[in-house]
Chain A
Amino acid sequence: MIGVSLSGIIKRYGALQVVHGIDLDVAEREFVVLVGPSGCGKSTTLRMIAGLEEISEGDLEIHGKRMNRIAPKDRDVAMVFQNYALYPHLNVADNMAFGLRIRRMPKDQIATTIAETAEILGLTEYLERRPADLSGGQRQRVAMGRAIVRHPKVFLFDEPLSNLDAKLRTQMRAEIKRLHNRLGVTSVYVTHDQVEAMTLADRIVVMNDGRIEQVGTPMELFNNPANTFVAGFLGSPPMNQMKAQLTETGARVGNAEINLGRAINGNAGRDVIIGIRPEHVTLQPGEQTTALPIDLDLVEPLGSEALLHARFGEDEMVFKADTHGDISHLQGVAEVHVPAALVKVFDAETGRALRLEH
């Protein structure tokens, strides 16, 4: 069963169109993450699902019911906001009970629900505190608690972790994932952080400039990006992209020829962009690898691995290499090896992935 369905969703502000026809089905109990750079329309799309923004064109269905003209309160969705949106004058318990009181739930039932949810979120001892007396992580938990107590059909998260520091974000990310596994509620989550998207999502929707670039599982998107935008957006550091020309045997980049290990057929001479993930590069030659001469510029140690910044012809590239506890062996690297099977090829004009047969 489909939890949330968007068909041809368009959003205009006057003459300015910001969302250009979104088609997306989110299955029941699925966790879908909308990810993209600032201004790509992901939050607007989420707010249209919540009913906080009017839909200019297209159809929105939640559990099979058309929702375009339905008030937010009747959509049975709960939303967690970026800045928590906690009422500063109410304590934690009252914040969580707000929506239930508005819906005139009996008092004893409210008390039970709040107690249960507080237990799940580890907030029991903070129920009497006001938001100002809580840490960022605790506030975020209260915001989630306020959504959970409603037992909605759909959870909507609008960049809920972006106000937290890096350590807390990692911790809360895991908590959200556990909570979703436990509650199994359909969730749509917006973020600009690709790590959050990769770690949380059942499926990721990469958006750019008001359009969907690609939808798929995190590993599908990572391994087979549909275009150069997705290739550059997912992965840290992003995929190295270099202008190249297909030849009868591979791809020519500057003076070097990279073995692609697949049939070029009639595509020889075509301008392309080749993509190499930093972690796919090796320092030792392997089966079907191409050696690339590089000018090493900088080594950034990260502990177990290091980032190597280098120049290859006119292109700048970043590679990952294991340190084995020492970076001295990386200082003199003058050549790296690229495995043919892992090199991605994109059309230079459209940026779309070229499917060349292996």
Chain B
Amino acid sequence: MVDRNADVAGIPVEEVDNKSYAPESTWARTVDHFKREWQLYVMLAPTIIWFLVFLYKPMYGLQIAFKDYSIFRGVADSPWVGLEHFEVLFANDQFVRAVWNTVKISALNLIFGFPAPIILALMFNEILHATYKKTAQTIVYLPHFISSVIIAGIVITAFAPTGGIVNIILGWFGIDSIYFLTRPEWFRPIFVGTGIWQEAGFGSIVFLAAIAGVNPSLYESAVVDGANRWQMMWKITIPSILPTILIMLIIRIGNIMEVSFELVILLYQPATYETADVVNTWIYRQGLQSGQYDLAAAAGLFNAVVAFVLVMTANTLSRRYSRTSLW
């Protein structure tokens, strides 16, 4: 037996099998890996199937945005028309208006709706009485679990010109009844406000979880240093949850063209189309009600491309300036 440590003045401790091993092929290692971890892949399968069926397979149908689609000829046999539908779209005043309405409503949602759950989470964090905190949280989470139809019903009732609570209160101050839901200028505030009321509470959960993850000794250290609760909120809590805020902002920007379709459909009416008609409702009317599937597909594709560009930009900017990004 050769002492393999002799040349480094080592002491042979045990006999070593000197057999040489050929490196395993990638294929053999992959097979080994699947044999060892197959349970994980079985658990992953439903998600992959869902993605394939509901997100990737429909992409095949996207081509009708560039075709003169007929349901009788099918997707494959319909003739190509190039960018004709896009030209029609951008020449259509109603579509352009719908795009601007979507952008304006989303901007308002971003400005007022995005900070709302953060502010709510910060406020909950300051409540020290456990029972009061839990009760308050439950109350603000509840609207999230109410169907959009019911929410719309509540809004229509609350803003009704006669008997609506809002107009009754206005009446106390001598203000005449306002037909809120038929007035275009009132649609956006009501829509955005309703969204905040419905989702801010539930949306605060993710920020509360982020706050719960802040190291408690940061607060203790700040207390010893002399910080009050306000200073701790600004100097510790908010900077600590900033990565979560940025991630949520990127996701939100990705959904900027997705204004709550159901709620718009339920709340708008021809009188308020001027401010209420968004891309999704326009697609619904053109695509499903008027049967112009190809034009609707082009509008949908436009929506997706805009969202893709926005989320890429937001992610890149966030990664560059805050070291936080989705990927």
Give A contacts to B, CB under 8 Å: 50-52, 72-73, 77-79, 81-83, 85, 87-90, 98-99, 102-103, 146, 150
Contact = CB atoms under 8 A, between A and B. Distances in A.
B224 A83 contact: no
B225 interface: yes
Contact of B215 (A77, A78, A83): A83
B309 interface: no
Interface string B218-251: 1011111111000100011001101000000000
A81 B226 contact: no
Instruction: Give the secondary structure class of A's interface.
Output: loop
Given A81-B217, A102-B231, A87 B224 contact: no
B217 A85 contact: yes
**Most chain A beta carbons < 10 A, residue from B224, B235, B236, B239:** B224
Given A89-B240, A98-B235, A150 B217 contact: no
A150 B225 contact: yes
A78 B224 contact: yes
Interface in B184-228: 215, 217-218, 220-227
Contacts of B222: 98, 102
Contact of A85 (B220, B235, B242): B220
Contacts of B231: 102
A332 B57 CA distance: 79
B325 to A, nearest CB: 16
Contacts of A102: 222, 225-227, 231
A114 to B, nearest CB: 14
Contacts of B235: 87, 98
Contacts of A98: 222, 225, 235
A150 B222 CA distance: 13
28 contacts: A50-B220, A50-B224, A51-B224, A52-B220, A52-B223, A52-B224, A72-B224, A72-B226, A73-B225, A73-B226, A77-B224, A78-B224, A79-B221, A79-B224, A81-B220, A81-B221, A82-B217, A85-B215, A85-B218, A85-B220, A87-B239, A89-B240, A89-B242, A98-B222, A98-B235, A99-B224, A102-B222, A102-B225
Given A81-B220, A81-B221, A98-B222, A87 B236 contact: yes
Given A52-B220, A81-B220, A98-B235, A88 B226 contact: no
Nearest to A75: B224
A267 to B, nearest CB: 51
Contacts of B239: 87, 89-90
B217 A83 contact: yes
A81 B223 CA distance: 13
Nearest to A99: B225
Contacts of B236: 87
Interface in B112-164: none
Contacts of B223: 51-52, 72-73
B258 to A, nearest CB: 32
B270 to A, nearest CB: 51
Q: Which 6 A-B pairs have the closest CB atoms?
A: A73-B226, A99-B225, A85-B221, A85-B217, A89-B239, A81-B217
Given A52-B224, A72-B224, A99-B225, 18 more contacts: A50-B220, A51-B223, A51-B224, A72-B223, A73-B224, A73-B226, A77-B224, A78-B224, A79-B224, A81-B217, A81-B220, A81-B221, A82-B217, A85-B217, A87-B235, A89-B239, A98-B235, A103-B226
